[in-house]
Amino acid sequence: MAEYESHTLDVLIIGAGGAGLRAAIEASATGARTALVCKSLLGKAHTVMAEGGVAAALGNVWPEDNWEVHFRDTMRGGKMLNNWRMAQLHAQEAPDRVLELEEWGAVFDRTADGRILQRDFGGHRYARLAHVGDRTGLELLRTCQQRAVSLGIEVFMECKIVRLLTDATGAVNGAVGFWRESGTFVVFGAKSVVIAAGGVGKTWKFTSNSWEGTGDGHALALWAGADMIDMECVQFHPTGMVWPPSARGILVTEGVRGDGGVLRNSDGERFMFNYIPDFYAKETADTIEEGDQWYENKTDFRRPPELLPRDEVARSINSEVKAGRGSPHGGIYLDIASRRSPEYIKRRLPSMYHQFKELADVDITVEAMEIGPTCHYIMGGIRVDADTAATTVPGLFAAGEAAGGMHGANRLGGNSLSDLLVFGRRAGQYAAEHALGRPDDVEIDRTQVDAVVGHALAPFARDGENPYAVHHALQETMQSLVGIIRTESELLEAREALDALEERAAASGVEGHRQFNPGWHLALDLESMLAVARCTTLGAIERKESRGGHTRDDFPGPDPEFAKVNMVTRMHDGAVVVAAEPLPEMPDELKTLFEEAH
């Protein structure tokens, strides 16, 4: 058998979006030999799609804002299923992470007195999102990218990791992947591995995620023995494009609503006023007049219900469409045209203006947008220690969307960019610390490598069906049976369907050669998506309640017993198993923040 290209490192970071880059910057600052590996080119990661902003209690617009308010908003938005310690660290550290970006060249929009401007977003009590028009994710990614480049950090681009490697004790000590360009294999030996590989959206049919969002990071960790938590908590962003079909799922920023846009049904009614849950009644306007005054005066008026957390808005849209009050293409209307001047819209939402003009031939300064829920983000993910980002497997760390716990059952807009900065940094720091504490380079087990390579090449030797067909079938299954609204019988049906899909995937074959062959790449990505689908489905069956991004038709309300548990999925004897395990308990001094609420 041929020799493999190999690289020996202290810290290997899988994924070069915001979390991965931030981890790399931190790890390399400690002197650890650090490298990033990513499936696409550098600077293309899904972080660019984050539009609205990065949430941080800087207090520039509202001096009353502070970490405690942010912490409380985050926990409430997450329906208290969050890992409290992660939510605390996040709220405390986000302001420093944003200011640091500025030092690295990020250029945020400014307040009148020259500081970073902050905007309103759903679930945040104060205008809190530092932003750059509606392209904040690009700004954050580019800033971290330019920082990493200036530090000389090595980046292995267009490389797909197939499996992690472990030593005799079960600790992670490297990874095997292949160059997409040539199809040749590469072995990374590393004392620490950080998973920062983002999300899983491609498992569903309508998604805002790019082709990369196939849950590779989740699957790699799962296969290496790590625990996953709350994988049933999946965020369907309320506003994705629904028309034309090719644009279906593409994100429409929440900033449209933050800047005055409202939701209307086919009767032109602002239906969100009919869906204000008790949990948020105290802080939500119950008349249109009050809601409209809030934009100008946030002290004396309550926010309009269009700015409720995403899970509430997505479910309400779903109900309106089901009740027959939807738009022609099965969505509802997002209207900013009748509420703000064309100049204002173009200045505040330039990318949205551009996106609708180019993709849908719709001028959003004149017409309402047709929108509907789209699979956007997974709150669940790899179980980590809040302070160190360490997973349950020694040597393996995780940050960003791949890690679970921070957002509980539902993520607030703007909290993901801050999450990846705060925990990307922590993962980099502790991964480096772990690596530097181990003097000798790792020893790679050659037989493991050979087995991974053999497995990865197997699709070429099979003449089963095209992996695209299996992928479409998986997306249909998850969309219709494990979508926004779930029910026991359908979830059990999904579990069975996954058995069959796994068999189909294992038999699927690819044609052509190894150089840049997307069919082959998909065959391997499909394994990750199937693993994610399994975890989500099992968690969804066991969580017999509705909470945040997990809604059960047969258990429509939250259940206090389920508020106390994470649904943990892990490998056991070659199969994924699920178990409810207790959540870490919040200390009393933080609990008081919720008593004096509003």
CB of 132 to other proteins, least distance (A): 6
How far lies 256's CA from each of 121, 240, 308, 535, in Å? Answer: 9, 12, 14, 33
Contacts of 362 (CB under 8 A, 6+ apart): 356, 369
Strands (E), 47-135: 54-55, 118-119, 129-130
* DSSP bridge pairs for 159: 179
Q: Which of 515, 554, 556, 581 binds other proteins (CB under 8 A)?
A: 515
Q: What does the DSSP assignment read for 116-134?
A: B-EE--TT-SS--EE-STT
Interaction residues for other proteins, span 284-303 (CB under 8 A)? 295-298
Q: Which of 105, 268, 454, 584 binds other proteins (CB under 8 A)?
A: 105
CB of 348 to other proteins, least distance (A): 5
CB of 511 to other proteins, least distance (A): 6
- R_g (Cα) of the chain, nearest Å: 23
Of 130 and 390, the one with the shorter C-beta distance to other proteins is: 130
Determine, following the binding rule CB under 8 A, whether residue 107 of this chain makes contact with other proteins.
yes
Of 351 and 388, the one with the shorter C-beta distance to other proteins is: 351
HSE-up of residue 207 (Cα within 13 Å, Cβ side): 25
Of 147 and 552, the one with the shorter C-beta distance to other proteins is: 147
Of 366 and 577, the one with the shorter C-beta distance to other proteins is: 366
Determine, following the binding rule CB under 8 A, whether residue 511 of this chain makes contact with other proteins.
yes
How far lies 152's CA from each of 36, 190, 484, in Å? Answer: 11, 19, 44
Q: Which two tokens stand for residue 509?
A: 């074959």
Q: Which of 57, 132, 403, 501 binds other proteins (CB under 8 A)?
A: 132
Of 211 and 279, the one with the shorter C-beta distance to other proteins is: 211
Q: How far is Cα 314 from Cα 231, in angstroms, rounded to an integer?
A: 19
**Residue span binding other proteins (CB under 8 A) among the ranges 67-75, 276-284, 346-354, 426-434:** 346-354
C-alpha of 229 from chain center? 14
Q: Which of 3, 343, 440, 589 binds other proteins (CB under 8 A)?
A: 343
Active-site residue, from 76, 163, 310, 486: 310
Determine, following the binding rule CB under 8 A, whether residue 346 of this chain makes contact with other proteins.
yes
Q: How many residues bind other proteins (CB under 8 A)?
A: 87
Interaction residues for other proteins, span 194-253 (CB under 8 A)? 210-212, 243-247, 250-251
Going by their DSSP bridges, the two strands 565-572 and 228-229 should be labelled as antiparallel
Residue with tokens 């699709």: 459
The answer to whether residue 570 is catalytic is no
Interaction residues for other proteins, span 359-388 (CB under 8 A)? 359, 361
Of 46 and 425, the one with the shorter C-beta distance to other proteins is: 46
**Residue span binding other proteins (CB under 8 A) among the ranges 98-106, 219-227, 537-545, 565-573:** 98-106
Backbone angles phi, psi at 102, to 5 degrees: -65, -35
CB of 69 to other proteins, least distance (A): 15
Determine, following the binding rule CB under 8 A, whether residue 99 of this chain makes contact with other proteins.
yes
**Residue span binding other proteins (CB under 8 A) among the ranges 197-205, 214-222, 224-232, 349-357:** 349-357
Q: Which of 84, 188, 377, 520 binds other proteins (CB under 8 A)?
A: 520
Angle (CA) 225-459-507 rounded to 5° is 85
Determine, following the binding rule CB under 8 A, whether residue 513 of this chain makes contact with other proteins.
yes
Contacts of 562 (CB under 8 A, 6+ apart): 543, 544, 545, 547, 580
Going by their DSSP bridges, the two strands 185-195 and 159-166 should be labelled as unpaired
For the CA atoms of 501, 507, 508, 511, the dihedral, rounded to the nearest 10 degrees, stands at: 180
Q: How far is Cα 364 from Cα 336, in angstroms, rounded to an integer?
A: 7
Encode burial over 443-456: b for 16+ CB neighbours within 10 A, e otherwise: ebeeebbeebbeeb
Determine, following the binding rule CB under 8 A, whether residue 592 of this chain makes contact with other proteins.
no
Q: 21-50 mask for other proteins (x: CB under 8 A)?
A: -------------------xxxxxxx-xx-
Of 82 and 239, the one with the shorter C-beta distance to other proteins is: 239
Of 196 and 576, the one with the shorter C-beta distance to other proteins is: 196
N-term to C-term CA, the chain: 67
Determine, following the binding rule CB under 8 A, whether residue 547 of this chain makes contact with other proteins.
no
Determine, following the binding rule CB under 8 A, whether residue 518 of this chain makes contact with other proteins.
yes
Which residues are identified as catalytic? 310
